[in-house]
Amino acid sequence: MKKSILIFYSLALLALGASLHAADRRPNILLCISDDQSYAHTGAAHDPVVKTPAFDRVAREGIHFYHAFCDAPTCGPSRSAILTGQPIWRLEEAGNIHSTLPAKFKTYTGLLKDAGYSIGFTGKGWSPGRLDPGGRKTNPAGAEFNRRRLKPPFRSVANRDYAANFEDFLAQVDKDQPFCFWLGTHEPHRGYEKGAGQRTGKDPARVVVPQIFPDHPVVRNDLLDYFVEIEHFDRMVGRAIATLEKRGQLDNTIVVVTSDHGMPFPRAKASLYDAGTRVPLAIRWPGGIKNPGRSYGRMINLSTLAPTFLEAASLEVPETMKQGPVNFRVINSLKAAFSNQGRTETRLFTDPSAAFIAMERHDGCRQGGKGYPCRAIRTHKYLYVRNYEPGRWPAGDPDRRVCARDIPFGEVDSSPTKKLLMDNKDKPGFKRFYDLAFAKRPAEELYDVRKDPGQLVNVAGNPEHAEARKKLSARLQEHLARTGDPRALGQDAPWDYYPYYGRKVNKDWKVDPKPEKQP
């Protein structure tokens, strides 16, 4: 009997040791996320001016995802979707910026922590908003590491040494303990130091001006100043990678480089067009990516990162993070991309995958706290947008008196490009761009992105595209209804009435109380 007990305990100890050894080899995770960067602006995407050697290395040694989209083109909601693996219409208050992320929503960081991972962040984690109203005591991105400082290259750049803070985090991780770290810079969020781009030797003549802007020196130089801040982010990524290399941990770390949404320019950030929603994404993981050094072109949302991380750590993915059937119409994780499963990239014109994007209140830029509710489906051929309140101003009200920020069209950040459009709105060559950025929009928008990559011409009313409009409208509705969007289900949609925790320059601005239901 004693011999049997001894054998039992010996086997149990061996099993425990094997389990711990397996846990020791679970991959680390380093998520590097910039603040307001569009897909086009990396070296891997062939921009001729901006230099991003760290991003390009991750893309070259891993996978470059060239059809990655945020779940919402606004900071807090996008980050909430990344953390929870859910679309914003399922996240209650977190669907608005300057709000909260209710504690009842599970995050991949929390689940990894429960499984023994060390969790931390530097810079901008989940933000902006307040944690307490949602029942959270700490940032859902992890424990904060923001002690280290540096002398910024320009006044507009934060003085946080993000890479050094990552080193501080690693120093407190237990030996053989896996970690998950969120390196979130405040760059390239506005404002910028005017002329920074040219002072670094960048040539405005080489800038590729997006089709949504006039080709003007003000725009070119504004873009150069934006590029300077992207490069600051990239240097931090490069230093973090070098730290992992020095410690011998790089090849057992999933390195992700991306952004929360697109560039802080008119008709970009806070809009459902590609300039606001299509983001850079590259992932390096030698232990999990088959045939690295390739590109992946199917449509994905950043919310797929959460279930991907959990699967990589051999954890069960909550049902709330599964947004549809396991097929290529809705991509729930990047497991298939890592293993190089599925049809070849040469047949993307038949690929049925789609990204789904949404926005509610981006900022307090309409009377009474009203947002601009809209939803979109993006496929390889089309972008279809449904605007639920087309009578509202999409970029915020032109009357600054009804904006918490006390600026006209307040959902578009103040910038030289915005000022150029507003100051010249009635002049030839400017009105079209002004209207694209600020004018009211119809209830339905449809863009043939192959013929119109800038998404300038709405063909929703064109008979040639009637069948496509009908199918995309139905597919969007089906997805929203299946994933519980209150607007698609005709239910109460409370986002216009949730509290606003942002800074109010206009002290008279407030959120209206929610109307009582009539009996």
Average pLDDT, the chain: 93
On the question of pLDDT at 4 being above 50, the answer is no
Q: What is the span of the domain harbouring residue 462?
A: 363-497
With cut-offs at 50, 70 and 90, classify the pLDDT of residue 117. Answer: very high
Would you say 32 and 240 are in contact if contact means Cβ atoms under 8 Å apart?
yes
Q: What is the pLDDT of residue 20?
A: 40
The CATH number of whichever domain residue 262 belongs to comes to 3.40.720.10
| Same structural domain, 426 and 338 | no
Say what the pTM is: 0.94
Q: What is the pLDDT of residue 322?
A: 82
| Same structural domain, 321 and 438 | no
Residues 6+ apart with CB under 8 A from 47: 40, 41, 208
Pick the closest to residue 312 from 293, 336, 288, 332 (CA basis): 288
Q: Does residue 370 sit within a domain?
A: yes
On the question of pLDDT at 94 being above 80, the answer is yes
Q: Does residue 108 sit within a domain?
A: yes
Pairing type for strands 294-296 and 278-279 reads: unpaired
pLDDT digits (tens, 9 = 90+) for 241-254: 999 999 999 999 99
| Same structural domain, 231 and 276 | yes
Would you say 268 and 297 are in contact if contact means Cβ atoms under 8 Å apart?
no
Q: What type of residue is 136?
A: R
Q: Does residue 445 sit within a domain?
A: yes
Pairing type for strands 253-259 and 281-284 reads: antiparallel
| Same structural domain, 383 and 323 | no
Q: Does residue 10 sit within a domain?
A: no
Q: Does residue 1 sit within a domain?
A: no
pLDDT digits (tens, 9 = 90+) for 416-459: 999 999 999 999 999 999 999 999 999 999 999 999 999 999 99
Q: Does residue 77 sit within a domain?
A: yes
CA torsion, ordered 487, 478, 377, 340, to nearest 10 deg: 130
Q: Alpha-carbon distance 371 to 389, whole Å?
A: 9
Q: What is the mean pLDDT of residues 55-80?
A: 98
Q: Alpha-carbon distance 360 to 171, whole Å?
A: 40
- Range name among 349-353, 406-410, 448-452 with the lowest pLDDT average: 349-353
| Same structural domain, 247 and 393 | no
pLDDT digits (tens, 9 = 90+) for 463-508: 999 999 999 999 999 999 999 999 999 999 999 999 999 999 999 9
How many structural domains comprise the chain? Answer: 2
What percentage of the chain exceeds 70 in pLDDT? 92
